[in-house]
Amino acid sequence: MNTGFSLTIDPMIIQNHENSNLLGTEAYWWMGDELPMRTGQIPQGYITRPGYKMFNYNHHGIGHFSYGPYFDNTSLGQINVYYFMDAVRRLGGKAFSVDIVDANDLEHPLTSATFTVNQLPRESSGFIVYVRGIRIKPGQKLEFRVFAEGGSDLRLFMIRMERDAL
């Protein structure tokens, strides 16, 4: 089910993620440290909230790195979703998986993809995993999940969703 996912380090997407939206588009974003998690941690030692969460293979178990937010959809439309991340240390193999599910039907993800260490940028730089054009309908409770697979230490800075009404 890798349909639609791309991984990029395109600086234009990174620079323009907070700009005003196109007509008919609503944007929502959640900072990494605002999202629920079952593994990983919010970094310590910051005076204010750090704005991200991290997964360290030596300290955390593999599994749900981030789940949620839960977005209650009320209209027909489509969404674009962007995961702003970084892979700090690459160990090899599968690094992480992302998916988008309706929390009312977790057995059938709307879309999903797994990324290996070899697909990540070589240098320690941020990247964006995005999927565009996912059709949604009223009554869905959308959840955007990230799973740590153990092949890399990770940081999750933000998840952004853009919703277009049809």
17-26, 99-108, 112-121, range with the lowest pLDDT:
17-26
The end-to-end CA distance of the chain, in Å, is 24
Distance CA 72, CA 140 (A): 6
**CB neighbour class for 157 (10 Å; exposed up to 12, middle 13-18, buried from 19):** middle
pLDDT at 19 over 70: no
Mean local confidence (pLDDT), 112-130: 83
Q: Where are the domains of the chain?
A: 5-16+25-165
Three-point CA angle 52, 55, 59, nearest 5°: 135
- For domain 5-16+25-165, the CATH architecture is Sandwich (2.60)
pLDDT at 4 over 60: no
Indicate the pTM of the whole model.
0.82
Cis peptide leading into 69, omega within 30 of 0? Answer: yes
Q: What would the two tokens of residue 127 be?
A: 């990247």
**CB neighbour class for 59 (10 Å; exposed up to 12, middle 13-18, buried from 19):** exposed
User: Could you read off the pLDDT of 45-68 as tens digits, one per residue?
Assistant: 777 778 889 999 999 989 989 887
pLDDT at 147 over 90: yes
Distance CA 11, CA 92 (A): 26
Q: What would the two tokens of residue 150 be?
A: 């153990």
pLDDT at 71 over 60: yes
